[in-house]
């Protein structure tokens, strides 16, 4: 099992669900607004997305999409936020996403 699937709750006894597109867009919009308003720092947004992923049991593709959209595809910003967040959550998960971003 990939580290991302493990951290977001893809366990043997649980099904991974996918939120509807409109629900994902709400998460993206609200997170982007908070980051833009400086109510959240970039790494805090990443930690929040990972927490939502675990609670909602989002699939890996949805998590990647949300992070990509929140940071408008800015790979440098994503990598920096993921690196800072790695000190707060699972290191192997962050490293896998950083590798995908680069």
Choice between 40 and 94, residue whose per-residue pLDDT is larger: 40
DSSP assigned state of 14? S
Cβ atoms within 10 Å, residue 11: 12
Residue-wise pLDDT for 1-22, tens only, equals: 444 444 444 433 345 556 788 8
Cβ atoms within 10 Å, residue 24: 18
Choice between 11 and 30, residue whose per-residue pLDDT is larger: 30
Contacts of 65 by beta carbon, 8 Å cutoff, 6+ apart: 24
Contacts of 34 by beta carbon, 8 Å cutoff, 6+ apart: 40, 45
- CA-to-CA distance for 37 and 101, rounded, in angstroms? 24
Residue-wise pLDDT for 60-93, tens only, equals: 788 899 999 999 999 999 999 998 888 887 666 6
Residue-wise pLDDT for 46-62, tens only, equals: 988 888 777 676 777 88
């Amino acid at each position: 099992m990939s580290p991302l699937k493990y951290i977001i709750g893809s366990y043997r006894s649980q099904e991974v669900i996918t939120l509807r597109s409109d629900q994902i867009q709400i998460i993206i919009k609200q997170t982007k607004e908070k980051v833009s308003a400086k109510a959240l720092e970039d790494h805090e947004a990443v930690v929040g997305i990972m927490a939502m992923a675990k609670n909602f049991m989002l699939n890996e593709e949805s998590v990647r999409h949300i992070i990509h959209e929140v940071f408008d595809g800015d790979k440098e910003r994503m990598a920096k936020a993921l690196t800072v967040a790695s000190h707060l959550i699972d290191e192997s998960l962050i490293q896998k996403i950083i590798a995908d971003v680069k």
